[in-house]
């Protein structure tokens, strides 16, 4: 039996613990109320999760802060901004969807649009909601098509449009006597090999032809899509079943992986990189000569680096047409309104502000992306060589990522499968096309039934 | 032995006016008995809310097909019976085989980390239990890893183990010249050992703290008597120190074991959302299935299996090793 002294003490401990627990929960309640009040006040405040588009979160806060200031002056509505880094954005959205507690307005990677649409957690842009943001006609059609599955009202609207391109260090090209950017995959490999060398004669290669982020799943999945299409493959069958192991996709993924493997034009240390935003640095530092990216201009600009140029991603076959001439996905960032928002009118007003011609021009100029609203898209301000080339790619050589609800899982699983092959190569293993097929097969088996 | 004369039982006498005060006393005893329960009720309620309810929800999710189609309205997600468990536990399937690999790996990870952290902890505790100059400095120094936020320190470790620019490879290749080329620490087989190193670094101060408290509670006279009898230092350690800190040890090992087994922060911060195959532990695997692949049902099933396994192990451990209630009063 515990002694009375013990019971007494126990009582005291329990009392203290309960008080502590109660005060903690009270604190939690306070903070909950504080953060929740933002969306509760009608016309007062809304919250906005922006993706990290600038060279840093701070830069985003500056750029968007100015835009929000203009909005607040116009409408009196306050906007609480949070810039969410890419590594966290998808999970943050997922948590918001499952808990029903999220921001009023948020940015999404446009390739997630159909997956997120299937959750039913976002406002469909049709009827009044679509009117409130200026109607469907104002958008560039290809960009608007990324807003959700075909035949359904989009649950996201295009905010910034982008396309992949081959970015390269012009100085390194000049030094190697390379006159123009490669147009076919064979030319690309030859160029990359020429640029892979030992510059200080210490017996070690210190400059590589190409750079990639081996552990960044989204970039790997995009490469699988583009190079797979060029090889005549598609990631899904026409009726929406995952099909990662067709010959076209396997060849495309194998081409991507062998850049580090057989051809050796990518440094093995790239297998460790899980953040795509470090790639511009690789080019600026002279570690590599080329890389694929969507809009690295702002990073170059922020560093005052000008020795770069862009060309379309090389084609497997120079005479390719149709699917095989794919050089990019219709990439971009979309904006959505959360269905559970307490202040949808204010949220829609803010989306309308972001999609106004003036804001589209300002924001896209700062982020070195392209506007998704036709009037701004056609503006001569977006007429540099790079922007013209991107516009042409988007018009003629880009396709949207598969518009099926399991696209999100596909990006994760295919991206991970590729990341694992890079890790194996870095460890000194040789990866064959059969290994690639096996890895893609495993990824496909883990796909949920749609 | 002296005997205490007890008052005759109350019922043997008729109720007298002075018994009224006894009645009041009795009712206050009754109130006293309920008082602790009343005080603990809010805590019990919160415990239910914070731990038990989410746990039950987790069990329920394991029986649902919970993907992006049903996540927004997950109360209505379709019931799929044991399907998620079949997927999760099929050793020939891609998820099942990963699960069993991860289970074995997590077990090995736990044994290694707990064993090394405990050994370092006991060594430092015994050393610092005796008084010498600079004792306080070392105590503080040893507690630093425990005081720093694990987020910051793990990211610092990740920087140090970076293949191209990390301090570790710079030291091995450029300063010492032992290796020609820096190995990959955060990919492949090495990643497992890096994870062990970081976990030991993070957990050993806790073992040290608990053991130091236990070692200090052993009276000095016991050691003095032992050394008079000619017991060596090792003999003193095995025959006095270890038996006398047994209770602290048992609790410490259980806590450390469970923490390390469920470890998530370290692999997530070292490797990002997807751990290398060779270093995938159970918790990150569950996370991967749930959040990267949006397969919350399978994630839930894996969690339930893990919960049952840990409950069984803990129950056996508590029955076999934990001191019985009686000995607490000893």
Measured on CA atoms in the order A306, A265, A194, A390, is the torsion positive or negative?
negative
DSSP H helices, chain B, are: 19-47, 53-61, 83-89, 94-129, 135-147, 150-160, 167-169, 190-216, 220-228, 233-236, 242-244, 246-261, 265-271, 282-287, 296-320, 325-329
What pLDDT does A24 receive?
34
What pLDDT does B290 receive?
85
| pLDDT above 80: residue A387 | yes
What pLDDT does A11 receive?
42
CA distance A427 to chain B (A): 7
Q: What is the C-alpha separation between B272 and A423, in angstroms, rounded?
A: 14
What pLDDT does A86 receive?
84
Task: Give the torsion through C-alpha atoms of B39, B45, B46, B50, to 10 deg.
Answer: 160
Report pTM. 0.81
CA distances (Å), origin A255, targets A207, A270, A390, A433? 21, 16, 24, 9
Portion of chain B with pLDDT greater than 90, in percent = 46
| pLDDT above 60: residue B18 | no
| pLDDT above 50: residue B2 | no
What pLDDT does A203 receive?
86
Nearest residue on chain A to B97, alpha-carbon basis: A442
Mean pLDDT of A262-288: 93
Mean pLDDT of B160-168: 92
Contact A21 B40 (CB under 8 A): no
| pLDDT above 80: residue A316 | yes
What pLDDT does A204 receive?
87
Predicted confidence (pLDDT) per residue in A322-333, tens digit: 999 999 999 999
What pLDDT does A109 receive?
92
What pLDDT does B24 receive?
60
Q: What are phi and psi of B270, to 5 degrees?
A: -75, -45
Question: What's the DSSP call for residue B170?
Answer: I
Mean pLDDT of B165-174: 91
Q: What is the C-alpha separation between B257 and A154, in angstroms, rounded?
A: 49
A9, A149, A215, best to mutate vs chain B, most B CBs in 10 Å: A215
Q: What is the C-alpha separation between B47 and B41, in angstroms, rounded?
A: 10
Q: What is the C-alpha separation between B31 and B34, in angstroms, rounded?
A: 5
Nearest residue on chain B to A413, alpha-carbon basis: B293
Contact B94 A118 (CB under 8 A): no
Q: What are phi and psi of A208, to 5 degrees?
A: -115, 155
User: Which residues have a Cβ under 8 Å from the Cβ of A344 and sit 6 or more positions away?
Assistant: A104, A123, A129, A337
Which domains does chain A show, CATH number per domain? 40-162+330-399 (3.40.190.10), 165-329+402-445 (3.40.190.10)
Predicted confidence (pLDDT) per residue in B198-220, tens digit: 999 999 999 999 999 999 999 98
List CB contacts (< 8 A) between B277 and chain A. Answer: 420, 423
Mean pLDDT of A371-390: 92
Measured on CA atoms in the order A237, A243, A244, A247, is the torsion positive or negative?
negative
Contact B36 A121 (CB under 8 A): no
Indicate the helix (H) or strand (E) that contains A117: helix A113-117
B57, B72, B277, best to mutate vs chain A, most A CBs in 10 Å: B72
Q: What are phi and psi of A158, to 5 degrees?
A: -70, 135
**pLDDT, mean over chain A:** 88
Predicted confidence (pLDDT) per residue in A21-77, tens digit: 333 333 333 333 333 333 334 458 999 999 999 888 999 999 999 999 999 999 999
Indicate the helix (H) or strand (E) that contains A393: helix A385-396
**pLDDT, mean over chain B:** 86
> Interface of chain B against chain A, CB under 8 Å?
35-36, 39-43, 46, 67-69, 71-74, 93-95, 162-164, 184, 186-189, 272-274, 276-277, 291-296, 329
What pLDDT does B26 receive?
63
pLDDT band at B16 (very low <50, low <70, confident <90, very high): low
| pLDDT above 70: residue B44 | yes
Q: Domain B101-329 belongs to what architecture? A: Orthogonal Bundle (1.10)
CA distance B36 to chain A (A): 5
**A410 and A215 Cβ atoms separated by less than 8 Å:** no
pLDDT band at B51 (very low <50, low <70, confident <90, very high): confident
CA distance B282 to chain A (A): 17
What pLDDT does B27 receive?
62
Sketch the domain layout of chain B as residue ranges: 101-329
| pLDDT above 70: residue B29 | no
Contact A121 B72 (CB under 8 A): yes
pLDDT band at A159 (very low <50, low <70, confident <90, very high): very high
Strands (DSSP E) contained in A151-306 are: 157-162, 165-169, 208-210, 288-293
B68, B194, B274, best to mutate vs chain A, most A CBs in 10 Å: B68
- Interface pTM (ipTM) of the complex? 0.76
**A122 and A133 Cβ atoms separated by less than 8 Å:** no
Nearest residue on chain B to A112, alpha-carbon basis: B68
Contact B42 A2 (CB under 8 A): no
What pLDDT does B154 receive?
93
Portion of chain A with pLDDT greater than 70, in percent = 90
């Amino acid at each position: 039996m515990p002694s009375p002294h013990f019971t007494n003490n126990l009582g005291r401990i329990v009392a203290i613990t309960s008080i502590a627990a109660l005060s903690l929960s009270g604190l939690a309640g306070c903070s909950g109320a504080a953060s929740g009040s933002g969306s509760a006040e009608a016309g007062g405040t809304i919250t906005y999760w922006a993706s990290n588009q600038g060279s840093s979160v701070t830069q985003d806060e500056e750029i968007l802060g100015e835009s929000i200031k203009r909005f607040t002056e116009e409408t009196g509505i306050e906007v609480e901004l949070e810039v969410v880094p890419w590594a966290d954005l998808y999970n943050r959205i997922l948590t918001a969807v499952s808990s029903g507690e999220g921001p009023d307005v948020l940015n999404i990677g446009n390739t997630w649009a159909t997956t997120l649409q299937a959750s039913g957690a976002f406002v469909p842009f049709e009827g009044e909601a679509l009117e409130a943001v200026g109607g469907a006609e104002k958008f560039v059609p290809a960009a608007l098509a990324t807003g959700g599955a075909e035949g359904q009202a989009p649950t996201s609207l295009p905010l910034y449009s982008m396309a992949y391109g081959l970015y390269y260090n012009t100085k390194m090209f000049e030094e190697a006597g390379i006159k123009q950017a490669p147009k076919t995959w064979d030319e690309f490999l030859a160029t990359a090999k020429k640029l892979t060398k030992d510059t200080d004669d210490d017996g070690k290669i210190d400059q590589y032809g190409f750079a990639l982020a081996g552990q960044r799943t989204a970039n790997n999945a995009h490469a699988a899509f583009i190079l797979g299409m060029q090889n005549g493959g598609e990631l899904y069958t026409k009726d929406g079943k995952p099909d990662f192991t067709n010959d076209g996709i396997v060849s495309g993924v194998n081409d991507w992986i062998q850049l580090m493997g057989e051809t050796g034009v990518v440094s093995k240390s790239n297998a460790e990189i899980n953040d795509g935003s470090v790639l511009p640095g690789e080019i600026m530092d002279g570690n590599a000569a080329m890389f694929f990216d969507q809009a690295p201009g702002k990073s170059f600009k922020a560093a005052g680096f000008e020795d770069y140029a862009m060309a379309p991603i090389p084609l497997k076959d120079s005479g390719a047409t149709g699917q095989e001439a794919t050089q990019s996905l219709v990439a971009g960032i979309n904006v959505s309104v959360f269905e559970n928002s307490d202040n949808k009118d204010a949220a829609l007003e803010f989306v309308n502000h972001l999609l106004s011609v003036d804001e589209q021009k300002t924001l896209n100029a700062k982020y070195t992306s392209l506007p998704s609203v036709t009037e701004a898209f056609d503006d001569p301000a977006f007429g540099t060589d790079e922007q013209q080339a991107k516009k042409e790619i988007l018009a003629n050589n880009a396709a949207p990522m598969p518009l099926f609800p399991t696209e999100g899982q596909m990006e994760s699983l295919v991206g991970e499968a590729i990341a694992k092959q890079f890790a194996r190569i870095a460890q000194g293993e040789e990866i064959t096309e059969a290994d690639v097929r096996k890895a893609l097969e495993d990824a496909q088996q883990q796909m949920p039934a749609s | 032995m002296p005997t205490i004369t007890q008052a005759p039982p109350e019922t043997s006498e008729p109720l007298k006016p002075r018994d009224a005060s006894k009645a009041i006393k009795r009712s206050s005893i009754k109130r006293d008995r309920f008082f602790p329960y009343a005080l603990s009720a809010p805590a019990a309620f919160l415990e239910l809310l914070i731990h038990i309810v989410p746990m039950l929800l987790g069990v329920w999710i394991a029986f649902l097909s919970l993907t992006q189609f049903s996540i927004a309205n997950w109360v209505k997600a379709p019931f799929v019976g044991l399907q998620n468990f079949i997927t999760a536990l099929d050793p020939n399937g891609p998820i099942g085989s990963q699960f069993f690999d991860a289970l074995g790996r997590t077990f090995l990870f736990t044994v290694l980390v707990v064993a090394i952290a405990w050994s370092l902890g006991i060594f430092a505790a015994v050393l610092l239990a005796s008084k010498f100059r600079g004792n306080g400095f070392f105590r503080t120094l040893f507690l630093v890893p425990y005081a720093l936020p694990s987020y910051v320190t793990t990211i610092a470790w990740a920087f140090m183990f970076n293949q191209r620019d990390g301090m570790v490879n710079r030291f091995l290749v450029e300063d010492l010249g032992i290796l020609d080329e820096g190995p990959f620490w955060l990919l492949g087989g090495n990643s497992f050992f890096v994870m062990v190193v970081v976990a030991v670094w993070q957990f050993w101060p806790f073992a040290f703290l608990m053991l130091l408290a236990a070692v200090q509670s052993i009276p000095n006279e016991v050691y003095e008597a032992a050394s008079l009898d000619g017991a060596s230092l090792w003999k003193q350690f095995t025959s006095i120190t270890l038996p006398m800190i047994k209770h602290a040890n048992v609790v410490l090992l259980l806590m450390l074991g469970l923490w390390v087994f469920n470890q998530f922060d370290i692999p997530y911060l070292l490797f990002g959302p997807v751990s290398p195959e060779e270093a995938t532990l159970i918790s990150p695997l569950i996370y991967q299935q749930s959040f990267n692949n949006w397969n919350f049902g399978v994630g839930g099933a894996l969690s339930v299996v893990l919960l049952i396994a840990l409950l069984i192990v803990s129950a056996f451990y508590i029955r076999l090793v934990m001191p019985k209630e009686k000995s607490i009063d000893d």
